[in-house]
């Protein structure tokens, strides 16, 4: 497993270089061997400067590699955690010091305990003891993971965030750059955060942006369609493309491929258009069944519908979000 | 009988046989280097000023793509994230001057890559010739995609994946990012022909094939085309122009204007084939749509206050 | 007749060879068979690619002041016709005629002519 992860990582780095080598003279030598993606393996892809994206069976992680150590955004599922650690070890032997959770769902936090245990907390004096990497999340995610919010996301204590914030943004400086963890209210859930690596110019978006599927709106955890659209527009405001709406700020989504601003723009357009269509049908006093029958996602289903989250399911989520009472299921928004 | 036309026909037949032959050695490479001027004689009206609203004839689109086209508003191009988009690899050869050059391995003298650049927006493509594999599914997509090429006789065949979502026609007909593109670059003296075959499992029922010709233009010099993103239209940030289903007032306009039936303007694979013209003769001519009260309104009904809805454009 | 039209189009096509095509389709964006004239004050002149824009504060048909967006050509085409970034300035009073956009709420025109009565400066042409 370790060997396959290492091989995949090496080939990924070579492929990434050729993808963006527009106009550059390529190095002479034999062509890279064909790669095989083993089932269950965590795949590595270098994004930009310090930042790498890791693609696992349940979702994506983003890691910052540098002299300060390793910072991991989202720890995948519990099952994938050993592969995640092995993949990180192909990039750096430095200690894992920080985990940041984009929200509380198990495909993003399931590996918290295992990954944290493999890391270290570096401090002296009268500060938090117990070792292990620190885990940062928005307060609502902490409440769900520690069970105080009565959520199914509850996990044993070893997986709880050690640090939380309840305001708009939590900043730190790590591996030579500002790392901004920015709360996105009432989006996928009410616990979402995106992580902006400002000098590397990479954003780990979590599940507010999932280009391989329709956005899942977890209404029970305070998610909403309008908050999702606002979060996508926030990503667009932060991102700056390098040339011709391509490159520049790169975005690692919660699920799906690596993207840039124009990809988020396309996705935002789709979500906004579907929202507008459903809103129009609600204004015409249609029932949910009638709205579904109108097939407001028909032209996008071929791109975004999946067996586990169909166009109908997305329409229903949008319908319920638009017809819900304001503030239903959401904890207090960040100040 | 004048022998000259006969000799010309014979020469043309020999040349055609030479082009068709695929049994030639692998190193029968052709040099595409240089500048090429676009010749817009095929599909000229679409490639020049652009297609009309809801004019989908001649394209193998499915119902989902038809809905994309019916929902599309040209005002979408003014949204900042859309302003500086270059044409993607499968659309670029429709117009623009083209420059090609190669990268040569200094030891083996093999061409390791071909590059193309177009004059409009200056997009640069790399066509890898060294047999490297295409990237995995999670790699970024680009406007020009990831291209690899191989020689088939004198013809360079290029396979491209990892394209960003774009369009098959500039009136809203989408081409998805799941599409693959095959091209054939064919040089015949001073004429370069690029045949493009787009296969899209999401929006096309058949491969979409087109050819574009270029003429060698050694005097051409590529010029820069810097693009700036600005606020072109003052609208609330986050508002996306589109037509709600059933609200597009222009569906029959192009067909009526050109005294055609409506059915062919709705596109579909059958409209690509010459035998469809017989069916067209049996169909009634489209009628011009009534002038919309608020011509071309695309703004959707006011949506409820979004969480964190940003302010109107000037305050951004 | 049909074949003569084809020949004319072929000749026109070869003349157009080398002209960079537009990002968007003008026929899809504007009512090319209609014109509209506005008179007002320039608030912004964006001399740029892919298309230059002149923003003019002028009243609409109901007398309400709007910020009109008048689409012009790319910089290369404008320079060919004698227009550069200093040809118009914010504050200039102008009369603009153009094709109206299909989305009425955009208050948008495709430039056909612009005139500055103060000094008689004029431009007219076809935006490609």
- Give B49-79 as a 3 state SS string: CCCCCCCCCCCCECHHHHHHHHHECHHHHHC
In angstroms, the separation between the Cα of residue C117 and the nearest Cα of chain B is: 25
Subunit contact B164:A294, Cβ cutoff 8 A: no
The answer for residues whose C-beta is within 8 angstroms of residue B306's C-beta and 6 or more apart is A226, A227, A229, A230, B238
State the best of A219, A246, A281, A311 to mutate against chain B, taking most chain B CBs within 10 Å.
Answer: A246
Predicted confidence at residue B41, as pLDDT, reads 87
Residues with pLDDT less than 50, chain B: 1-3, 15, 17-26, 293-316
Q: From the DSSP assignment, how many helices (H) and strands (E) are in chain B?
A: 7, 11
- Residues of chain B with Cβ-Cβ distance to A45 below 8 Å are 136, 138-139
At A334, the pLDDT band (50, 70, 90 cuts) reads very low
The answer for residues whose C-beta is within 8 angstroms of residue B220's C-beta and 6 or more apart is B35, B36, B37, B97, B99, C18
Rounded-to-integer distance, Cα A89 and Cα A72, Å: 12
* Cβ neighbours, 10 Å, residue A175: 23
Predicted confidence at residue A16, as pLDDT, reads 56
Chain C: partners with 3+ C-beta pairs within 8 Å: B
Q: Which helix (H) or strand (E) holds A134?
A: strand A134-138
In contact, A164 and A142? CB cutoff 8 Å: yes
Q: Is A227 on the interface with B (CB under 8 A)?
A: yes
Is A16 in a helix, a strand, or coil? Answer: helix
Where do we find the tokens 């189009």?
Answer: C9
Considering Cα of A112, then A114, then A120, then A124, what sign does the dihedral take?
positive
Subunit contact A226:B309, Cβ cutoff 8 A: yes
A157-169 pLDDT per residue, tens: 999 999 999 999 9
At A142, the pLDDT band (50, 70, 90 cuts) reads very high
In angstroms, the separation between the Cα of residue B302 and the nearest Cα of chain A is: 9
The answer for residues whose C-beta is within 8 angstroms of residue A206's C-beta and 6 or more apart is A73, A74, A102, A103, A108, A188, A192, A193, A194, A195, A253, A254
Q: What percent of chain A has pLDDT over 90?
A: 79
Subunit contact C25:B294, Cβ cutoff 8 A: no
Subunit contact C25:B171, Cβ cutoff 8 A: yes
Predicted confidence at residue B10, as pLDDT, reads 52
The four Cα atoms C63, C104, C56, C119 give a dihedral, to 10 degrees, of -80
| DSSP tag of B285 | B
Q: Which of residues 83-102 of B touch A (CB under 8 A)?
A: 83-86
Where do we find the tokens 């695929």?
Answer: B22
Phi, psi dihedral angles at A163 (to 5 degrees): -135, 145
- Average pLDDT for A38-50: 81
Tell me the two tokens of residue A147: 């069970």
Is the per-residue pLDDT at A20 higher than 80?
Answer: no
- Residues of chain A with Cβ-Cβ distance to B246 below 8 Å are none
In angstroms, the separation between the Cα of residue B307 and the nearest Cα of chain A is: 5
Subunit contact C50:B83, Cβ cutoff 8 A: yes
Predicted confidence at residue B177, as pLDDT, reads 98
Residue ranges of domains in chain C: 23-124
CB-nearest partner of B67 from A237, A258, A298? A298
Where do we find the tokens 């300035």?
Answer: C89
Rounded-to-integer distance, Cα B18 and Cα B227, Å: 43
CB-nearest partner of A302 from B128, B202, B304? B202
At A69, the pLDDT band (50, 70, 90 cuts) reads very high
Q: How far, CA to CA in Å, does B35 sit from each of B97, B148, C77?
A: 7, 21, 21
Range from A10-24, A101-115, B233-247, C62-76 carrying the lowest mean pLDDT? A10-24
What was the ipTM of the complex prediction? 0.87
Q: What percent of chain A has pLDDT over 70?
A: 83
Rounded-to-integer distance, Cα B179 and Cα B198, Å: 7
* DSSP E strands, A151-244: 163-165, 169-174, 177-184, 192-197, 202-206
Q: How far, CA to CA in Å, does B155 sit from each of A335, B9, B114, B183?
A: 63, 22, 13, 10
At A333, the pLDDT band (50, 70, 90 cuts) reads very low
Is the per-residue pLDDT at A30 higher than 60?
Answer: no
Is B219 in a helix, a strand, or coil? Answer: coil
Q: Which of residues 177-206 of B touch A (CB under 8 A)?
A: 177-178, 201-203
The answer for residues whose C-beta is within 8 angstroms of residue B297's C-beta and 6 or more apart is B247, C103, C104, C105
Subunit contact A244:B82, Cβ cutoff 8 A: no
- Average pLDDT for A117-139: 82
Q: Is C25 on the interface with B (CB under 8 A)?
A: yes
* DSSP E strands, chain B: 34-39, 98-104, 111-118, 124-128, 146-152, 155-161, 166-169, 173-175, 180-188, 191-199, 208-216
- Chains A and C, touching by 3 or more CB pairs within 8 angstroms: no
| Helix A81-89 / helix A2-19 crossing angle, nearest 10 deg | 60
Predicted confidence at residue C19, as pLDDT, reads 45
At A26, the pLDDT band (50, 70, 90 cuts) reads very low
Tell me the two tokens of residue B264: 């062919």
Rounded-to-integer distance, Cα A194 and Cα A180, Å: 8
CATH 2.40.50 fits C23-124, yes or no: yes
Phi, psi dihedral angles at A69 (to 5 degrees): 125, -155
Rounded-to-integer distance, Cα A14 and Cα A20, Å: 11
Rounded-to-integer distance, Cα A24 and Cα B118, Å: 17
Subunit contact B40:C17, Cβ cutoff 8 A: yes
CA gyration radius, chain B: 23
Is the per-residue pLDDT at A37 higher than 50?
Answer: no
CATH 3.60.15.10 fits A2-14+34-271, yes or no: yes
End-to-end CA, chain C: 27
Subunit contact A263:B144, Cβ cutoff 8 A: no
- Residues of chain B with Cβ-Cβ distance to A301 below 8 Å are 64
Query: Across the beta sheet with A163-165, what order do the strands follow?
Result: A43-48, A51-55, A60-66, A69-73, A96-100, A134-138, A163-165
Chain A: partners with 3+ C-beta pairs within 8 Å: B
CB-nearest partner of A273 from B71, B136, B201? B71
What is the pTM (predicted TM-score) of this model?
0.88
Strand partners, B150: B157
- Residues of chain B with Cβ-Cβ distance to C31 below 8 Å are 295
The answer for residues whose C-beta is within 8 angstroms of residue C15's C-beta and 6 or more apart is none
- Residues of chain B with Cβ-Cβ distance to A279 below 8 Å are 300-301, 303-304
Considering Cα of A252, then A253, then A254, then A255, what sign does the dihedral take?
negative
Predicted confidence at residue B238, as pLDDT, reads 84
Predicted confidence at residue B49, as pLDDT, reads 80
Predicted confidence at residue B56, as pLDDT, reads 97
For residues C15 and C42, the model is more confident at C42
| DSSP tag of B206 | S
| DSSP tag of B173 | E
Q: Which helix (H) or strand (E) holds A279?
A: helix A261-283
B276-298 pLDDT per residue, tens: 999 999 999 999 988 654 433 34
In contact, A108 and A101? CB cutoff 8 Å: yes
- Chains C and B, touching by 3 or more CB pairs within 8 angstroms: yes
Subunit contact B50:C21, Cβ cutoff 8 A: yes
For residues C68 and C5, the model is more confident at C68
A248-294 pLDDT per residue, tens: 999 999 999 999 999 999 999 999 999 999 999 999 999 999 999 99
Residue ranges of domains in chain A: 2-14+34-271
**Highest averaged pLDDT of the listed ranges A6-10, A13-17, B129-133:** B129-133
């Amino acid at each position: 497993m370790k060997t396959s992860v290492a091989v995949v990582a090496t080939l990924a780095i070579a492929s990434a270089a050729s993808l963006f080598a527009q106009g550059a003279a390529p190095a002479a030598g034999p062509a890279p061997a064909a790669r095989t993606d083993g089932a269950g393996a965590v795949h590595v892809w270098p994004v930009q400067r310090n930042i790498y994206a890791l693609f696992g069976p349940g979702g994506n992680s983003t890691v910052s590699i540098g002299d300060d150590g390793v910072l991991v955004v989202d720890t995948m599922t519990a099952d994938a955690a050993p592969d995640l650690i092995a993949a990180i070890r192909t990039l750096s032997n430095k200690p894992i010091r920080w985990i940041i959770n984009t929200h509380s769902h198990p495909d993003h936090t399931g590996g918290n305990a295992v990954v944290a245990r493999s890391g270290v907390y570096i401090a002296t004096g009268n500060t938090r003891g117990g070792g292990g990497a620190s885990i940062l999340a928005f307060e609502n995610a902490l409440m769900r993971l520690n069970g105080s919010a009565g959520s199914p996301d509850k996990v044993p204590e070893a997986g709880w965030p050690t640090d939380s914030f309840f305001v708009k943004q939590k900043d730190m400086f790590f591996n030579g750059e500002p790392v901004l963890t920015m709360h996105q209210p009432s989006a996928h859930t009410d616990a979402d955060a995106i992580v902006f690596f400002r000098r590397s110019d990479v954003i780990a978006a979590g599940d507010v942006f999932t280009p391989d599927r329709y956005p899942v709106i977890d209404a029970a955890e305070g998610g909403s369609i309008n908050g999702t659209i606002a979060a996508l527009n926030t990503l667009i405001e932060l991102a700056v493309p390098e040339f011709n709406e391509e490159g520049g700020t790169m975005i690692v989504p919660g699920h799906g491929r690596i993207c840039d601003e124009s990809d988020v723009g396309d996705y935002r357009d789709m979500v906004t258009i579907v929202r507008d269509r459903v809103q129009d049908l609600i204004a015409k006093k249609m029932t949910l069944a009638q709205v579904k029958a109108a097939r407001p996602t028909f032209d996008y289903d071929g791109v975004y519908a999946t067996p586990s989250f169909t166009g109908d399911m997305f329409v229903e989520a949008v319908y319920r979000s638009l017809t819900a009472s304001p503030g239903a299921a959401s904890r207090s928004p960040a100040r | 009988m004048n022998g000259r036309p006969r000799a010309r026909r014979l020469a043309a037949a020999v040349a055609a046989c030479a082009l068709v032959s695929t049994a030639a050695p692998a190193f029968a490479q052709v040099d595409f280097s240089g500048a090429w001027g676009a010749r817009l004689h095929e599909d000229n009206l679409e490639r020049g000023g652009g297609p009309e609203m809801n004019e989908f004839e001649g394209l193998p689109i499915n119902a989902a793509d038809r809905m994309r086209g019916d929902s599309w508003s040209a005002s979408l191009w003014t949204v900042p994230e859309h302003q500086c988009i270059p044409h993607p690899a499968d659309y670029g050869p429709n117009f623009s001057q083209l420059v090609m050059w190669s990268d040569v391995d200094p030891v083996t003298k093999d061409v390791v890559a071909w590059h193309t650049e177009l004059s409009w927006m200056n997009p640069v493509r790399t066509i890898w010739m060294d047999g490297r594999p295409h990237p995995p599914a999670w790699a970024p997509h680009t406007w020009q995609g990831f291209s690899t090429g191989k020689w088939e006789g004198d013809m360079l065949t290029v396979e491209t994946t990892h394209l960003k979502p774009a369009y098959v026609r500039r009136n809203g007909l989408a081409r998805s990012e799941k599409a693959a593109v095959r091209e054939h670059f064919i040089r015949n003296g001073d004429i370069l022909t690029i045949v493009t075959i787009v296969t899209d499992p999401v929006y096309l029922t058949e491969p979409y094939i087109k050819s574009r010709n270029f003429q060698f233009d050694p005097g051409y010099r590529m010029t820069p085309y810097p693009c700036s993103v600005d606020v072109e239209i003052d609208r609330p940030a986050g508002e996306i122009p589109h037509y709600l289903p059933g609200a597009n007032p222009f569906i029959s306009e192009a067909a009526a204007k050109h005294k055609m039936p409506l059915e062919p303007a709705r596109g579909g694979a059958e409209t690509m084939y010459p035998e469809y013209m017989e069916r067209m003769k049996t169909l009634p001519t489209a009628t011009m749509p009534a002038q919309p009260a608020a011509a071309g309104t695309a703004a959707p009904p006011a949506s409820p206050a979004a969480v964190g809805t940003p302010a109107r454009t000037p305050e951004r | 007749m049909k074949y003569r039209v084809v020949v004319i189009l072929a000749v026109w096509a070869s003349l157009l060879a080398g002209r960079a095509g537009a990002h968007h389709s003008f026929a899809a964006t504007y009512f090319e068979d209609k014109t509209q004239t506005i008179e007002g004050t320039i608030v912004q002149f964006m001399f740029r690619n892919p298309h230059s824009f002149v923003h003019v504060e002028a009243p609409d048909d109901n007398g309400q002041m709007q910020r009109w967006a008048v689409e012009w050509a790319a910089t290369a085409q404008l320079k060919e016709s004698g227009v550069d970034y200093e040809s118009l300035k914010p504050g200039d009073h102008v009369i603009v005629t153009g094709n109206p956009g299909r989305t009425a709420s955009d208050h948008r025109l495709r430039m056909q002519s612009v005139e500055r009565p103060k000094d008689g400066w004029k431009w007219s042409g076809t935006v490609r």
